[in-house]
Amino acid sequence: MKLPKVVTIAGSDPSGGAGIQADLKVLTQFGVYGGAAVTALTRQTSAGVLGLFPLPAEWVLEQVRDVLWDLRPPVVKTGMLQQPGVIGGLGRLWGEYVREYGKTGAHVPYISPSAEPVPSAPVLVVDPVLSSGTGVSLLAGGGLEAFREDLLPVTTVLTPNVPEAEALTGIAIRDSDDMVGAAERLLQFGVQWVLLKGGHLPEWEGVRIADLLISREERRWLWGQRVPGADLHGTGCSLASALAACLALGLPVPEAAARAVEWLRQRIGSPLFVGQGRGVVCQKLERQRE
Ligand SMILES: Nc1ncnc2c1ncn2[C@@H]1O[C@H](COP(=O)(O)OP(=O)(O)OP(=O)(O)O)[C@@H](O)[C@H]1O
Ligand SMILES: Cc1ncc(COP(=O)(O)O)c(N)n1
């Protein structure tokens, strides 16, 4: 059986609640090995993003190629890609990686007979980060077009929130019917599965909350209890990483999505307040100090 591995391609959050820091912590909690290629540095605290320093696009793509060809991860997860050159370049590189993986398979050691099998073709989970929770733009001009033209056609699972789905499709989302319409439009761009998160939907500002998981063949709503007054950062990054981890452990997309959403909602109910700002969900400490 194969060692479960995920490579995340994302930005750095020095406060540790979002970005690659959150991704690696979540992967570790699921028992999955994590590699990370960094797209940009941020100055960021638990209260918000203060600055952004993108790395040159060619350099980001070289990092990605190096680590994919070395680790051969069955699952790759993207977070803040920030530049159209990175988004477009990754779309092209992914086709090459799929062919390479098909030739040689996952290059991984035996770990245990009880481990689940890794996917036979590599899987790409794309969290289309456009801005921080506090409204700072994390995507440069031309980024939406690059997503639509180059990355969505090769995406296995896309995990937009409501504003991201609106920006990518141009469809205003006010209720659950609009969520279905926008998710179907995203499938038309070539995405295989869409997990459209409903946290921002006014319709459900009551006790319930739902995310929509949709493919060309299936549609299901993932219902849960809304935690009142949640003021958190990094929930999107943590959810996409949990989903990537479950896929690397061999779960099919519907089961992986349900398990990741369930895991996140439990965390939203007991976040860690690590600084002066919002709480985080990517880590649970065994012993919490007062
Ligand atoms: N108050 C809440 N109580 C329970 N679950 C929630 C709550 N808010 C969001 N969620 C869940 O958290 C996940 C993330 O949803 P959301 O729509 O907020 O995404 P997001 O905007 O990418 O997150 P963030 O911007 O905080 O990183 C979804 O599974 C959603 O159902
Ligand atoms: C490096 C990085 N990547 C992504 C986010 C989005 O996370 P959130 O929407 O929770 O602020 C972030 N703030 N920083």
**What does the DSSP assignment read for 50-119?**
EEEEEPPHHHHHHHHHHHHHHH--SEEEE----SHHHHHHHHHHHHHHHHHHHHH-----B--TTSPPPP
The two most distant CA atoms of the chain are separated, in Å, by 53
Q: Which two tokens stand for residue 200?
A: 């921002």
Residue count of the chain, please give it: 290
Q: Which whole-number Å values give the CA distances from 148 to 60, 129, 187, 190, 270, in the listed order?
A: 20, 14, 11, 9, 36
Please give all residues whose beta carbon lies within 6 A of any atom in ligand 1, as ranges: 133, 161, 197-200, 209, 211, 224, 226-227, 230, 232, 234-236, 239, 261, 264-265, 268
pLDDT in tens, 147-205: 999 999 999 999 999 999 999 999 999 999 999 999 999 999 999 999 999 998 866 55
The span from the CA of 152 to the CA of 156, in Å, is 8
CB atoms near residue 251 (< 10 Å): 18
In this predicted structure, what is the pLDDT of residue 117?
Answer: 54
Q: Which CATH superfamily, name and number, covers 5-280?
A: Ribokinase (3.40.1190.20)
Q: Which of 53-57, 75-79, 229-233 has the lowest mean pLDDT?
A: 229-233
Q: Which atom of ligand 1 is nearest to the CA of 197?
A: 17
Q: Tell me: the pLDDT tens digits for 104-148?
A: 655 444 444 445 455 678 999 999 999 998 889 999 999 999 999
Name residue 101's amino acid.
Y
Q: Which ligand is nearest to the CA of 235?
A: 1
Q: Domain-by-domain residue ranges, the chain? A: 5-280
Distance 216 CA to ligand 2 centre (A): 29
Q: Note the pLDDT tens digit of each residue in 200-215.
A: 886 655 788 999 999 9
Task: Give the Å distance between the CA of 236 and the centre of ligand 1.
Answer: 7
Q: How many angstroms is it from 93 CA to the middle of ligand 2?
A: 24
The whole-angstrom separation of Cα 229 and Cα 207 is: 11
d(CA 159, CA 257): 10
For ligand 2, the distance from its centroid to the CA atom of residue 141, given in whole angstroms, is 18
Q: Structure pTM?
A: 0.94
pLDDT given at position 205: 57
Q: Among 226, 235, 246, which residue has the most ligand 1 atoms within 8 Å of its CB, making it the best to mutate? A: 235
